[in-house]
Amino acid sequence: MTDLTLTLDQVEALATETLVSAGASRQQAASVARSTRLAERDGVRSHGLMYIPIYAEHLRCGKVLGAAVPTVTRPRPGAIHVDAAHGFAHAAIDSGWPEFDAAVREQGVAAMAVSRSYNCGVLGHHAERLAESGLVGLCFTNAPASMAPIGGTKAVIGTNPFALAVPDGSGGARLVIDQSASAIAKSEIILRARKGEPIEPGWALDAAGHPTEDAEAALAGSMLPVGGQKGFGMGLMVEIFAAALSGGNLGMEASPFSGPKGGPPGTGQFFIGFDPAAFSDDGFGAAMTRLTEAITSQEGARLPGARRAANRARIERGGVTVDATLMDRIKAA
C-alpha cells in the first residue's frame, strides 16, 4: 500500500468513523475528530491520526467510555465544572464551553474545571479557541506520571503542559504558547519509537536512571523536565490546577494514556478565560502590539505559535500525507 494524501475534511471523517466503529458515540467521536483535524492542520502529527488507533483501543478496553455524557454545573458565577464521566476530554470541554464563554464575558474572568477526563489533544488549540473569540486563555492539563523530581527516581507528575493564547483583535490569536514541563512531549517519543528513530539527548532517562537516546528505553524510564528544577516546578503548578483543583486524578494515580492496562485515567483540565475589556480599554491591545513587534522586528526571531501557523497555510493547500503503515493501523482499529 502506498502513502495517501488526505484533505482535512477526509482526516476528520476518517477519525470520526474509526472512533464510532470502535464504540464512541457521535458526540464523543465528533469532538475528537475535530481535534485530530486541527492537529494535522498544524503539523502536530504526534496528536493527529497517529492517536486514532490508540483511542480506538482504549474505547474497546474500557479506558475511555464511548457512551459517556458529560455533566455541566455552575456552582458559582465564575466557576464551571464539567464531569467528563470517563469519556473523551474533547467532548467534555465542548459541552462546558458555551457556559464557560458566557461566564467569562459576564464576570470578566472565569474558570472551567474538567474532571474524570482523558487526553485533551493539543492544549494550545483550547487556548486559541478563547483567543479567537477575543479572550485571553490560560489552560492546564495533567497526565499520568512520567517525570521524577530532580534527585528522585520515582515518577510523580506527568509531562503536564500549559498553554496561553492572546487575541489579535481580528478573530485570531496573536500568539500561542503551548509547552510541557518535560523537555519534549511524550507523544513525540512514542512517535519516534513507532518509527524506530532515536530521540534527542536530554529528553529522557532509561529505567535505570541513565540518559538515553533510545525511544523504547525512554518509554520504559522517565521523562526529563525542561530546565531542571524549574521545569519540574512548572509541572507541579499544572498538577495543582488540572488535578487537585479540578478534582481529577493526580498523575501518580492515573493509568497510562498508552496501552490497555488499567481503567480510565481520570485526569483533569483547567481553563481560565480573561476578557481584556474588563481590565483595560484599548491598553491591552496596544501593549501586545508593542510587545510582539519588539520580537518580530528582530531578524530570525518569531512569536510562539508562528511555526504552527506556517504549517497551517501549507497543509490547508496541500493536504495531509498519511503513510501506509499508519493507514493500516487505522483500518485495523
The residues that are catalytic are: 46-47, 188
- Which three cell numbers mark 218? 525512554
Q: Compute the distance between CA of residue 47 and CA of residue 186 in angstroms, rounded to an integer.
A: 11
Cell of 209: 536512571
Q: Which residue type does 175 have?
A: L
Q: Can you read off the three cell numbers belonging to residue 266?
A: 481520570
Residues 150/105, Cβ–Cβ less than 8 Å: no
Closest by CA position to 248, among listed 126, 142, 96: 142
> Angle CA(41)–CA(135)–CA(296) in degrees, nearest 5?
65
Q: What is the DSSP string of 93-156?
A: HHHHHHHHHHHHHHHSEEEEEEEEE---S-HHHHHHHHHHTT-EEEEEE--S--BPPTT--S--
Residue 119: closest CA among 15, 231, 255, 303: 255
Rounded Cα gap, residues 307 and 275, in angstroms: 26
- The DSSP letter of residue 2 is -
Q: Are 265 and 249 in contact (CB under 8 A)?
A: yes
With the C-alpha atoms ordered 224, 188, 184, 10, is the resulting torsion angle positive or negative? negative
Please, are residues 252 and 156 in contact by the beta-carbon 8 Å criterion?
Answer: yes
Cα–chain center distance at 315: 20
Distance CA 23, CA 14 (A): 15
